[in-house]
Each structure stands twice: as C-alpha cells, then as structure tokens.
Structure 1
Amino acid sequence: MPEKTRRTVRDLRRGNRSTLLRRLYFDGPLTRQELSAQTGLSQASVSNVVAELLDIGVIIEAGSVESDGGRPRILLKTAPGHGHLVGVDVGETRVLVELFDLELTPLAKADLPLGDGGHDVRAVVEHILSGLRTVITESGVDSATVIGVGVGVPGTVAHTPEYVVHCQTIGWEAVPLEQMLRAGTDRHEGTSLPLFVDNGATALGQAEMWFGAGRGARNAVVALIGSGIGACVVVDGAPYRGSAGSAGEWGHTKAQVGGNLCRCGARGCLEAYVGATALLERYRAAGGTASTGEEPALAQLLADPAPLAAEIRTEIVAYLGTGIAGLVNLFSPEKIIIGGWAGLLIGNQMLDLIRDAAAGNALRQPFAQTSVELCRLGPEAVAVGAATLPLAHLLDNGGTVEGREQAAGPARTPVAAGPPALPWTRA
C-alpha cells in the first residue's frame, strides 16, 4: 500500500498561504470576502492568512470597494516590488538574460551572442554569469531581493540532486550546469542565488499556459520552433515528462524514413525539415543568398518570390502541418500553440495554410476540437517562462523563499491558468 503522508500544522498553514497567494496573483485584486468564496476557506482563516502575507510583504492593500450597507471592503493584490526574478534563455545563437519584478514587468536585459564557440558549456556559463551581473547592476536592484534565477536550456534536465543537462544536438552529455554556475569561471564569480533549470520549451509552455494563448486550457501542446524544435505537452493541466523527463522532443519524431540528416545524428527528424537551421541550409544549397544571422535570413526566405524559396515554403507547410496532425492524433489537445522566433515568423505568414495541411492529415473528430494558434508572449517568451520557475517556487511556498531542495524533482503541479488551475512548481 502507498505510504500515507502526514500533514503538519505548518504544512496546512503554508498550503493556505499558497492557495490565497496564487488566487491573488492570477486573479487579484480581490477582497477578503471574495477570497473566502473562491477558495472555500473560512473568513477567519482568510483573515489570518492575509495578515501573514501582509506581514511578509508579498501582498499589499490596493484600494477599496463599496459594500452593501457596511464598511468599504479592502482590495488586496500581490506586491510587484516584493522581489525580483531572473529568466535566462540559453538559445541556439545567444544567451538572453532578463530581470523582472514580481509581476514579470521587464526591468533590464542582457543579450549575449554565443559567437563561433557555439554551445561550449564554459562560454554559456560565462554568458549567464556576465548577464546576471549586468542586469542586476543596470537595474540598481539589491541582489538580496532576487528570489531566484530560472534557466531555460535545450535538451533534458535531470535533478541528481543538482541540475544536470543532457542535449545530444549540441553535444552536452551530463553537463553539471548548476555546479558550474556555482563554481564560476576565471572571469566571473559564481552565483549563490537560488537556481531553477528546465527545458526551454517547457519554460515557454509554462509562460503561455499562465499568461498567453494557453490560459484556461487543460490539454495543450506548446511548440517551440527556432533553430531546432521542441514542445511542452500539457495533459490535464500538468506537463507530461515521461519516465526519463525527456518527453516533448517533438522535433525528433520522424517526418520521413531515411530522410535528411538531423543534428541529433538520426535521419528524417521533423527538425531536419522545419527547424530554421535546416531550412536555411536548404535555401543556401539551392542558390538562395540568405542574410547573415538566422532571423533575418529566415525572414528573407519567407519573403523571397523566387521559385526555389516558394518550393521550400511549400515543404514547410506540408511537414509542419503533418507534424501538428501527429500531435492531434496522439494527444487530442484543446490547443496547439506555435511559438519561438522561427515559429512566429512562419506562423504570421502561413498559419492558415499550416492549419489546412494539419486538417488534411489529422483525424477529423479530434482536429475539430483543436485550435491551432500562435503564442502571444512574443519571440522572447522562453526568458519569461524561465522567470516563472522561481516564481512558481515562491507561490508554492506561500510567499516565503525556502531552500530549493524542498522543491526538488520533476514538476507535477498543474500549469493551466485560471480557476481552478494552479501553477506548476518543482514540488
């Protein structure tokens, strides 16, 4: 029989704080009476918990509303300046570091190109530590107010107990990223700030489920299309990770048996047909004069009237539509949300054609229940999603920043935003 878990009074109080804080974060400002009605907690419990949250400083009073015949009721909301969050996107061509307040308002940014060294892990660590110092210095915030640093990376993230990254496509095998960020480099001192590392597509998925196109959905797939391809699969409000934590590698499902060589070393992967790197390789090989830099080069390919570019665009529609149809047939999601800088460039020009191609390859009944749309948080949403990793830890702990070891392990708490959904955390 499964072992029973005994909840202490401390656990109960923290759970109540977490419940109210989440409600205020996603739906505030609210009155104490509204919090009681929406959470099912008694008014006495709400009053006690609100007093604790006000004392911590994680919520503030935000005006009042008239009541029927009584005193005005005080509105409550989360305090944007209570703490700060850092989101890091380890992308294909750059490392983006952003600093946010508690409501995810951007305060400072460092955009650091990877250069010829590519994903040499020491260069990536240098960029993360350099960017972290830059955003804290430029914003003028006290580093003691930084709740945590979230890092979105390609590949699979294992917690053993520290964060270790495996990414075949960039040559990372059991990279001890957390250990390296703690140790620092010859040029930059290591960080002692709380660290939270996850797959970049999963981080993007969390942000879109909380604040973007996925809000309110319980079953969705959030696709990240850049130089490569990944996805966050959300099933019944929670991310599906599989037994090894590597679920969502949509880019390495097969689009063609024995087809084009993929960066992972296999042939015929979807990424080898729709990832920006593969698209631009085909464009240049066919005689296209692509611009320097992947983003302007892909924009040029999508606008080029030449027959060779038109043929590649036709292939994009066919392969991406077929890949989306596979997601529909496998998961029957409410939404498939396309994001990433390349996904948004492609989708803004060809989304209707891609939908039609998906419809022609998917089973009719599940496709009729699925919407295919674009991410709403823009091309830099991975950094926003990475910042939600420490934010989720704060919400899960009811407004206090406890040791990350208490939040270790794969994320299991639901991610879909809106009642009655809760943020997913590392609990």
Structure 2
Amino acid sequence: MAKSVKLSHSDELRESSRQQVFDAIREAGQIARIDIAQVTRISPATVTAITADLIAAGLIEEVSPDISRGAKRGRPRVALKIRGDAHTIAGMKLSHHAITTLITDFEGAELVCHEIPLPGGQLDPDALCEKIVTALDESCAQGGLERQQISGLAIGMAGVMDADRNFVYWSSSLNVRNIDFGSYLARYLSIPVFIDNDANLVAKAELLFGEGDKRSNFVVVTVEHGVGMGIVIDNQIYRGARGCGAEFGHTKVQLEGALCQCGQRGCLEAYVGDYALLREANVTSGVERHKDLASLYAAREAGDIMAQSTLDRAGRMFAMGLANVVNIFDPQMILLAGAQLAFGYLSSDKVVHEMRRSVLQVDGPLPEVRVHGWGNKMWAKGAAAHAIEEISALRIREVSGHAV
C-alpha cells in the first residue's frame, strides 16, 4: 500500500492544515476551536471549516464544555476531541521470544493486551506472517472483536528498515535480507500494515506517553537480544535517508572484533547483546553453563570471575557507546529500555561515570540517564501510536479528496 502520492502545492497546503488541526486536538485531548487557531496559527474561519469536515468524517467530535475548569463569564466554549470509537487500532512488538499485541481505540485507550510465545531464532517470512496473524486473531478474540474491525496494524521489530516502504533490509526476526515485508503481510492481512524499527516506536511511546513529553530532543537506547536506538530531534523521530539512521548497536567499537548477528565484526551489539554475552561466557568456560542472562548474572553475584569479567566488559563497551551518542547528538536525556536493564549492570553508577568521563567536557550539564520499566507493553503502545498516526493521515487525505 502506497503511503503518499504526488499532490499539487495547494493540495499539500490544504492537507497539511487539516493534519495540523487534527494533531492539535489529539495533543490537547480536548480543545476549543479558538485555541486550535492560536496553537496552529491557522485562521479561526479556516479552523471552523476544517473541524466541520473532520466531524462529518467521524474523526473528531464535540464535547460539552467543562465549567469546572474555571471558564470565564459568558457562554462556555464547546471543545473538540478525537472520536475514540472512530477506529480500532493494533500495535505489535516482536521480541526474540514473544509477540506482544496491544489493541486500542482511536484515542489510544487500551482495549486488549495479549502476548504469545515466538520461537527463538530467525524465521522465514511466511512463518513470521503466520505468527503475526495468530497474535492478532487471538488478541481480537480476547476483546470480542473481528479482525476486520481493526483499521490498521503497526509492527515494531528489531533491524534495519525503511518505514516509508515497509521494506526490511535486515532483521534478527527474519532469515532473509532485503525483503518487502509489507507485501508479504498483505497476502495474510487485508488491513493497512505499517512496519518500523522497534526502538523508534519505544521513542515514540516515550514522546507521547512517557518522559519524552517534556523534552524535544532525547535518545532511547534499547538493550535486549540486540541493541537499538531511537532518536527524537525537535519532537520528531529521526530515521535517516534510508531508514538506517539510528543503528547504535552496529556502530563499531573494535576493529576486526567479535562477530555480530548482522554478519559484520566489532559492532557494539556483539559485546552487549544477550546472545553475545552468553556466547562469550560459554565459550570461555568451554561448556554451556548459562542458557540465559539470569544465570549469568546470578553467577556474577555469586563471585564467578568469568561472569564478572564478561559483564564488566559489556559495561565498558556500553559506556563508550553512550559517550559517543552524547558527543554526536548532545541530547537532553538518554532513556535506557529493554529486558537487560532489569539486571542493572548496564545502568550502574560505574557505567554512567565512565560515560561522563569520556564525553567532551564543556561548561554545561550533561544529559540525564534514566531507565524506564514499562516492559513489552510500552513497545506495543508505541506501535499502536504509530498506527494511529498513519491511519489518521490516510483518513485526513481521504477527507481532502486525495484517497490513496
């Protein structure tokens, strides 16, 4: 499904104005028309016309004024809000061992959250599509919904991809490279599907629902099976020209170093990802002593020197990577997310100190480093937010008379 078509300049302006109005309503929750005009700097008459179109299309609705909010004398102003029942949306987070699905209404209110197991390792495209369909159908069944009631699905997965084309260059979830995964999913699902890097969607969730709503420039670093990063610059997700602009895990920290799952050597992920830590620990010991990070971490806490060395090196490499992020992007905040953060060794005071010691020293505060603990549900919520944005854009284009 194409996401855009060539529009005339006047058509682009008209569509842009509608999108600005819609976004202002969504961001505010409830807002009067005159306040929309002030926020967007669109004339009150144009705002009135646009909101009439959006109401007619069923995307927004009027709500009774809340006089308890201290309204001034005179007739209370009628507010507008997103119509929650306009669309039902699904967001998915594909991890190495599970698919987490969150179904929401058009305002983002949770309707269903469901998780199914996923076989470890890379799957062929058809097998992964079948798992995605199963996850969606089971989630719909839990909420008493039919799949056809879902207006759009967004999927967050690890890897390098072009979100505009739903094209996956490489992913740890797939056993093939350079695949038009959106076309594969279209064979299984008759609803619009949007694919993006999972770290980008965590950043979107933080921007809309978490710590990022108070900051316009921040970075989210995710550490699970691999290492990812989502970058927010001026309240927008930065993806780069090819959609590959935030591959923190594949920045190089060692010339001709350890083998990464992407096929190259010396990547940060090859020293920090959970598969890399288990590989190093088990190869060093000569036997498969640890099948998961919990075992490795427990060995460290029990005084195992090999486990201590493995995790300490991961911390040093991670600190080096974070210092590079600060030196390049100068973010207001770094948020750390993912299953590995539960063990604490990557967010310890020692790691943060090493990062700060390696950062270019200037007379100004360094970014705060924080850990969030929302789990897979937050990743799925970011995916749902992405789907809401994409479906909103499609429907607004239809209102403008430029249906895709």
Tell me which moved more, 226-235 or 138-147.
Answer: 138-147
Letter of the structure 2 residue corresponding to residue 29 of structure 1 = Q
Tell me which moved more, 48-57 or 124-133.
Answer: 48-57
Q: Say yes or no: does 1:167 pair with 2:165.
A: no
Q: How does 1:267-306 map to 2 (within 5 A)?
A: 267-285=265-283, 294=292, 296-297=294-295, 300=298, 304-306=302-304
Q: Which residue is 1:157 aligned to?
A: 161
Q: 1:68 to 1:17 in 2, by over 3 A?
A: same
Specify the SS of the correspondent of 1:45. Answer: helix
Q: How does 1:357-376 map to 2 (within 5 A)?
A: 357-365=354-362, 368-375=365-372
Q: Which residue is 1:258 aligned to?
A: 256
Q: Which residue is 2:131 aligned to?
A: 127
Q: Say yes or no: does 1:231 pair with 2:233.
A: no
What is the Cα deviation at residue 176 of structure 1? 2.8
Preserved CA contact (<8 Å) 1:340 1:380: no
Specify the SS of the correspondent of 1:76. Answer: strand
Q: Distance in 2 between matches of 1:7 and 1:336?
A: 39
Q: Which residue is 2:336 aligned to?
A: 338
Q: Distance in 2 between matches of 1:63 and 1:282?
A: 62
Letter of the structure 2 residue corresponding to residue 89 of structure 1 = K
Tell me which moved more, 263-272 or 48-57.
Answer: 48-57
Preserved CA contact (<8 Å) 2:318 2:351: yes
What is the Cα deviation at residue 262 of structure 1? 1.9
Q: Which residue is 2:245 aligned to?
A: 247
Preserved CA contact (<8 Å) 1:59 1:79: yes
Deviation per CA, 1:258-287: give whole Å up to 9, x if none.
332222233222111111111223344455
Q: 1:97 to 1:60 in 2, by over 3 A?
A: same
Q: Distance in 1 between matches of 2:363 and 2:192?
A: 42
Q: 1:117 to 1:317 in 2, by over 3 A?
A: closer
Tell me which moved more, 282-291 or 63-72.
Answer: 282-291
Letter of the structure 1 residue corresponding to residue 226 of structure 2 = G
Q: Say yes or no: does 1:393 pair with 2:390.
A: yes
Q: Which residue is 1:58 aligned to?
A: 59
Q: 1:400 to 1:271 in 2, by over 3 A?
A: same
Q: Which residue is 2:3 aligned to?
A: none
What is the Cα deviation at residue 291 of structure 1? 6.8
Deviation per CA, 1:119-151: give whole Å up to 9, x if none.
332221110011122222221235444221111
Specify the SS of the correspondent of 1:115. Answer: coil
Preserved CA contact (<8 Å) 1:220 1:235: yes
Q: Which residue is 1:138 aligned to?
A: 142
Q: Which residue is 1:101 aligned to?
A: 105
What is the Cα deviation at residue 289 of structure 1? 8.2
Q: Distance in 2 between matches of 1:45 and 1:38?
A: 13
Q: Distance in 1 between matches of 2:382 and 2:266?
A: 30
Q: 1:152 to 1:47 in 2, by over 3 A?
A: same
Q: What root-mean-square deviation, in Å, do the aligned CA atoms of Structure 1 and Structure 2 show?
A: 3.2
- Scaled by the length of structure 2, the TM-score of the pair is 0.85
Q: 1:168 to 1:149 in 2, by over 3 A?
A: closer
Q: Which residue is 2:35 aligned to?
A: 34
Identify which of 199, 206, 209 aligns with 1:211.
209
Q: Say yes or no: does 1:199 pair with 2:197.
A: yes
Q: Distance in 2 between matches of 1:349 and 1:254?
A: 18
Q: Distance in 2 between matches of 1:117 and 1:317?
A: 25
Q: Which residue is 1:7 aligned to?
A: 9
Preserved CA contact (<8 Å) 2:104 2:112: yes
Preserved CA contact (<8 Å) 1:165 1:173: yes
Q: Structure 2 unaligned runs (5+)? A: 1-5
Identify which of 324, 334, 347 aligns with 2:322.
324
Deviation per CA, 1:381-415: give whole Å up to 9, x if none.
32222222221123435656689x978xxxxxxxx
Letter of the structure 1 residue corresponding to residue 238 of structure 2 = Y
Preserved CA contact (<8 Å) 2:94 2:158: yes
Q: Which residue is 1:424 aligned to?
A: none
Q: 1:65 to 1:100 in 2, by over 3 A?
A: closer
Tell me the matched-pair count.
393
Letter of the structure 1 residue corresponding to residue 159 of structure 2 = G
Q: 1:68 to 1:265 in 2, by over 3 A?
A: closer
Q: Which residue is 1:17 aligned to?
A: 18
What is the Cα deviation at residue 54 of structure 1? 2.7
Letter of the structure 2 residue corresponding to residue 335 of structure 1 = M
Specify the SS of the correspondent of 1:103. Answer: coil
Specify the SS of the correspondent of 2:312. Answer: helix
Q: Structure 1 unaligned runs (5+)? A: 184-189, 408-427
What is the Cα deviation at residue 12 of structure 1? 4.4
Q: 1:6 to 1:262 in 2, by over 3 A?
A: closer
Letter of the structure 2 residue corresponding to residue 355 of structure 1 = V
Identify which of 104, 112, 129 aligns with 2:116.
112
